[in-house]
């Protein structure tokens, strides 16, 4: 199928990353999973295309033929067609299935397109790219004054606060947000940063004086992690876990925080997750 509109595109697995995921960081993208043999698709697709054209760039429509792009269908767990998925900032934010009427589609769009607060967050992010942290922070706080659980505003402000060492406030901001991978990662980063100002040489002396002192080992490990010296920090924490002493659970939680910051696919996470499992069991 060929589309004349500049806002409607036929997408394949090969260009999905560029045309959908990357593009959705600039403008929301609706992904219409359809097939030539699908009767409801023939009802929904022209309606979606007309609404997209009338929106004149407020969002884009990416059409995916499920027969020709089965990998994408599997990736997004498409169980029936038509299915429409809204993507913003590289992530799915909502979906619907079936040939909905126009009123229902418009209600769906209202829930997934940027509102006034979302636009303000984008302005703040633009300010950050221009090295205007004070301006960005002012905008983000304005958003959170109106909606304290605004995810993007909260995570953006928390990241600024963590970088500045204002950990307690960052954790308060994050505590008002719905937990997800980004919130969990920032909370872990904040907890690790709490030990950033500690004197490493003094902590090393205390830890060396008594290798079985859990508190001394934990303080040193946290201080190392706060400086992104993750591998030596993990080694010390793992030793506490392996001793099965009173500091075992605190050490385990600190290790999990490091995993959150590094991400599941980081080589250190993969290695030390296996070592942690062995030490625990």
Residue with tokens 């606060």: 161
Asked if the structure places residue 247 within a domain, the reply is: yes
Residues 179 and 214 in one domain: no
Instruction: Respond yes or no: is residue 38 known to be catalytic.
Output: yes
* Residues 13, 92 share a domain: yes
Q: How far apart are alpha carbons 277 and 275 in whole angstroms?
A: 5
Do 23 and 107 belong to one domain? yes
3-class SS at 62?
A: strand
pLDDT value, residue 197: 67
Domain presence at residue 27: yes
Tell me, yes or no, whether 88 lies in a domain. yes
Within a 10 A sphere around the Cβ of 227, how many other Cβ atoms? 15
Question: Which of 193, 220, 239 delimits the end of a domain?
Answer: 193
* Residue written as token pair 């909260």: 154
CATH number at residue 136: 1.25.40.10
Show the tokens assigned to 242.
Answer: 């392996």
**Residue 38 covered by a domain:** yes
Same domain, 89 and 14: yes
Residues 122, 104 share a domain: no
Domain endpoint, select from 193, 212, 237: 193
Q: Residues 184-193: pLDDT tens digits?
A: 999 999 998 8
- The conformational region for residue 77 under phi > 0 = left, psi -120 to 50 = alpha, else beta, is left
Spatial contact of 237 and 250, defined as CB atoms under 8 Å apart: no
Whether residue 87 lies inside any domain: the answer is yes
Are residues 215 and 128 located together in one domain of the fold?
no
**Whether residue 13 sits in one domain with residue 97:** yes
- Are residues 188 and 205 located together in one domain of the fold? no
Q: Is residue 1 part of a domain?
A: no
60-65 and 29-34 as β-strands: parallel, antiparallel, unpaired? parallel
Catalytic residue among 38, 112, 127, 220: 38
Residue 3 in any domain: the answer is no
- pLDDT the model gives residue 1: 47
Query: Catalytic residue among 8, 31, 41, 127, which?
Result: 41
pLDDT for 8: 93
Residue 141 shares a structural domain with residue 124: yes
Name residue, tokens 């002396």.
Answer: 205
The last residue of a domain, from among 193, 216, 240: 193
> What CATH number has the domain bearing residue 99?
3.40.30.10
41 as an active site residue: the answer is yes
Domain that holds residue 150: 116-193
- Do 46 and 128 lie in one domain? The reply is no
Both 121 and 152 in a single domain?
A: yes
**Which among 1, 72, 60 has a CA at the least distance from the CA of 33?**
72
For helices 230-243 and 248-262, the axis angle rounded to 10 degrees is: 150
Residues 95, 17 share a domain: yes
The pTM of the full predicted model, rounded to 2 decimals, is 0.69
Low-confidence ranges of the chain (pLDDT < 50): 1-2
Q: Does residue 2 lie within any of the structural domains?
A: no
Task: Using the structure block, give the residue that is written with the tokens 């075992």.
Answer: 248
Based on the structure, what is the number of domains in the chain?
A: 3
pLDDT at residue number 36: 94
- What integer pLDDT is reported at residue 112 of this predicted model? 87
* Surface-to-core class of residue 75, CB atoms within 10 Å of its CB (0-12 exposed, 13-18 middle, 19+ buried): exposed
CA distances from 187 to 122, 149, 171, 222, 260 (A): 22, 15, 6, 14, 9
- What pLDDT sits at residue 281? 83
pLDDT at 236: 94
46, β-bridge pairs: none
């Amino acid at each position: 199928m060929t589309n004349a509109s500049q806002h409607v595109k036929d997408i394949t697995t090969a260009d999905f990353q560029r045309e959908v995921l990357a593009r959705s960081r600039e403008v929301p993208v609706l992904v219409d999973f359809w097939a030539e043999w699908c009767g409801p698709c023939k009802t929904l697709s022209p309606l979606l295309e007309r609404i997209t054209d009338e929106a004149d760039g407020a969002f884009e429509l990416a059409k995916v033929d499920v027969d020709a792009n089965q990998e994408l269908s599997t990736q997004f767990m498409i169980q029936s067609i038509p299915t429409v998925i809204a993507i913003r900032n590289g992530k799915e934010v909502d979906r619907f299935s079936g040939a909905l009427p126009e009123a229902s589609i418009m209600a769906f769009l209202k829930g997934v397109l940027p509102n006034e607060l979302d636009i303000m967050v984008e302005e703040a992010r633009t300010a950050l790219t221009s090295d205007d942290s004070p301006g960005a922070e002012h905008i983000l706080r304005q958003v959170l004054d109106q909606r304290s659980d605004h995810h993007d505003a909260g995570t953006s402000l928390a990241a600024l606060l963590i970088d500045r060492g204002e950990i307690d406030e960052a954790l308060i901001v994050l505590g008002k947000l719905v937990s997800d991978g980004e919130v969990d990662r920032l909370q872990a980063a904040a907890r690790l940063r709490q030990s950033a100002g500690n004197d490493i040489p003094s902590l090393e002396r205390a830890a060396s004086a008594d290798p079985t002192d859990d508190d001394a080992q934990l303080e040193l490990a946290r201080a190392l992690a706060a400086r992104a010296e993750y591998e030596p920090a993990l080694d010390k924490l793992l030793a506490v876990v392996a001793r099965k002493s009173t500091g075992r659970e605190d050490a385990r939680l600190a290790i999990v925080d490091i995993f959150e910051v590094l991400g599941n696919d980081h080589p250190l996470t993969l290695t030390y997750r296996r070592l942690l499992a062995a030490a625990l069991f």
